[in-house]
Structure 1
Amino acid sequence: MAKLLSLLSLSLLFLFSLSSANPNPNSLLSAHKELETFGFPIGLLPTNVAHYSINRTSGEFSVKLSDKCKLTLPPDNYLATYSKIVRGKIVKNKIAELDGIKVRAMFQWWSITGIRSSGDNLVFEVGMLSAKYPAKNFDASPPCEGLKADS
């Protein structure tokens, strides 16, 4: 009986720590809705979000995916990979210090380091370079393409 109570106590403690890290247990919907509150479309994150956390003071966030992800980004069909953990700093209309998303362009892999929402467009930053795309291309959250990414 004592072992059962100990196990139950540990289980409750574990569940409490999870709920305090993410007040809404529906991480998929919450992480995507969180993007919208900062002025971004939900399609910037794939559908396999397992957990997310955000520091409301600093804007630092972490999104944990159920696994690495490979997908094709519209409109130019660039191949993108998402690491199992994507981190960055988010404020209204700007994501900075982004880590965990790479895109293949011009026969090379590039890390997306930031994203800005500018009117009806999204501006993707790759170091000193940037590219602008219509935000409507990211209205739907894309599913991963089955194969694990090599990022």
Structure 2
Amino acid sequence: MGFLCIIFLLLVSSGARGDNSETAYEVLQEYDFPIGLLPKSVLGYTIDRTTGKFSVYLEDTCSFSIESYDLKYKPTITGVITKGKISDLSGISVKVLILWLNIVEVTRQGDELMLSVGIASADFPVSSFAERPTCGCGFDCFTATANNLRFTPNVLSSIS
């Protein structure tokens, strides 16, 4: 059983790209989106270049915060991508107050990205997504790691 899982993961990570060797991040850039729309945990993807339909596969569910928003990515994200627009998006949600709402569309307008949940949207500078976020800590992993560090004072002793 374990052997079959390894074979499946190898197929997903190498063959999921289809006929090319581009990464999912490079495909985002081709459509005028920053790489930071996807976390670092991407295993592979499929895309139909004629329709724009795509699926992106992550290692696992991925959560992190951007500014005051909590985001959650499911292991499979689907949608339709065209130049400057991702629609019919499924698999990414944002926490608003106490509710998790699905982000259904992402649109680039100049130097701004508009993330829409259907009834409302939020604008972010494209530069906010210049780096790929890390699951658990997003774009601020150094601060999150530094806040969790504990220092033990060195005890010096001398033998006389």
TM more than 0.5: yes
How far apart are the structure 1 equivalents of 2:27 and 2:16?
17
Tell me the secondary structure at the aligned position of residue 135 of structure 2.
coil
Deviation, structure 1 residue 20: 7.6
Which residue of structure 2 aligns with residue 49 of structure 1? 42
Instruction: Work out the percentage of aligned pairs sharing the same amino acid.
Output: 37
Moved over 2 A (4+): 18-25
Shift of 1:129: 1.5
| In structure 2, distance between residues paired with 1:57 and 1:106 | 39
In our comparison, the structure showing a higher alpha carbon Rg is: 2
Question: In the alignment, residue 24 of structure 2 is paired with which amino acid?
Answer: A
User: Residue 96 of structure 1 aligns with which residue?
Assistant: 87
* Corresponding residue SS for 1:98: strand
Give the structure 1 partner of residue 105 of structure 2. Answer: 114
- Does residue 65 (structure 1) correspond to residue 61 (structure 2)? The answer is no
Q: Which runs of 5+ in 2 are unaligned?
A: 1-6, 138-160
**2:57 and 2:68 mapped to 1: Cα distance?**
24
Paired amino acid for 1:102? S
C-alpha deviation, 1:131, in angstroms: 1.3
Q: Which runs of 5+ in 1 are unaligned?
A: 1-10, 147-151
CA distance in 2, matches of 1:24, 1:69: 26
Question: Aligned-pair distance for 1:105?
Answer: 1.6
CA distance in 2 between counterparts of 1:61 and 1:108 reads 27
Query: 3-state DSSP class of the match of 1:53?
Result: strand
Q: Report the AA paired with residue 132 of structure 2.
A: S
- Length-normalised TM-score, structure 1: 0.77
Highest RCO, 1 vs 2 (Cα 8 Å, sep ≥ 6): 1
Distance 2:29 2:132 in 1: 12
- Decide whether the 8 Å contact of 2:16 with 2:46 is kept in 1: no
Shift of 1:127: 1.1
